[in-house]
């Protein structure tokens, strides 16, 4: 019973995540600066590297990255060897556009929190595919609460 209860609660909590409609619903909506978002960015880059070869992939940011997660994500993607095109507001349309440079894929992220809980969700959208992972807040940090899931 307990083994089936946690996944059901997790699915309900993730379904209840609320993201403001700014930037098409993408961005960092976590209010707490106390959380170490650099570890989340490192985890995200590690997963991206497993799915998309860094030296052969050009990514195009489709949103501003002024937040701690976004700034760290940009730095770590470049450190890993990705060609990265910075956000250009005039180039963004809804739905996500086709790549503007050969071999490039649009990149967006969403980091949010389930209401009144210690459950967080990180979603990366690369082109038309997305990967998502839940995290739990534990002792001031975020730890994975499940595996990465990939939607094509």
Domain around 54: 2-151
Residues in the chain: 152
Q: Is 32 helix (H, G, I), strand (E, B) or coil?
A: coil
CA-only gyration radius of the chain, Å: 15
More confident site: 87 or 58: 58
Q: What is the pLDDT of residues 3-30, one digit of tens each?
A: 544 444 444 344 444 433 444 677 766 7
CA distances from 44 to 6, 122, 124 (A): 24, 8, 8
Domains held by the chain: number: 1
Instruction: Quickly list DSSP for 84-124.
Output: EEPP-GGG--SSPPPPSSTTEEEEEEEEEE-TTSSEEEEEE
Instruction: Please give the helix or strand (H or E) that residue 6 lies within, else none.
Output: helix 2-15
pLDDT at 125: 94
Tell me the mean pLDDT in the region 29-41.
77
pLDDT, tens digit, 9 for 90 and up, residues 59-89: 998 988 888 888 999 999 999 999 998 887 7
Give the pLDDT confidence of 106-143 residue by residue, as tens digits: 999 999 888 888 899 999 999 999 999 999 988 878 89
* Reported confidence tier of residue 104, pLDDT bands at 50, 70, 90: confident
Q: What is the pLDDT of residue 58?
A: 92
| Nearby residues of 3 by Cβ (< 8 Å), 6 or more positions away | none
- For residue 35, give the DSSP letter: S
The reply to whether omega before 56 is within 30° of 0 (cis) is no
Q: How far apart are CA 3 and CA 8, in angstroms?
A: 9
């Amino acid at each position: 019973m307990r083994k089936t209860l946690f996944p059901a609660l997790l699915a309900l909590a993730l379904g209840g995540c609320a993201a403001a409609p700014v930037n098409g619903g993408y961005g960092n909506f976590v209010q707490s600066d106390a959380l170490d978002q650099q570890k989340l960015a490192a985890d995200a880059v590690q997963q991206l590297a497993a799915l998309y070869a860094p030296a052969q992939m050009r990514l195009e940011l489709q949103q501003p990255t002024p937040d701690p997660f976004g700034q760290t994500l940009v730095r770590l993607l470049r450190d890993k060897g990705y060609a990265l095109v910075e956000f250009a507001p005039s180039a963004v349309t809804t739905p996500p556009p086709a790549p503007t440079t050969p071999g490039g894929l649009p990149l967006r992220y969403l980091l949010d929190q389930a209401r009144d809980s210690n459950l967080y969700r990180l979603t990366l959208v690369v082109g038309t595919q997305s990967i998502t992972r839940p995290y739990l807040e534990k002792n001031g940090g975020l730890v994975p609460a499940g595996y990465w899931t990939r939607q094509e």
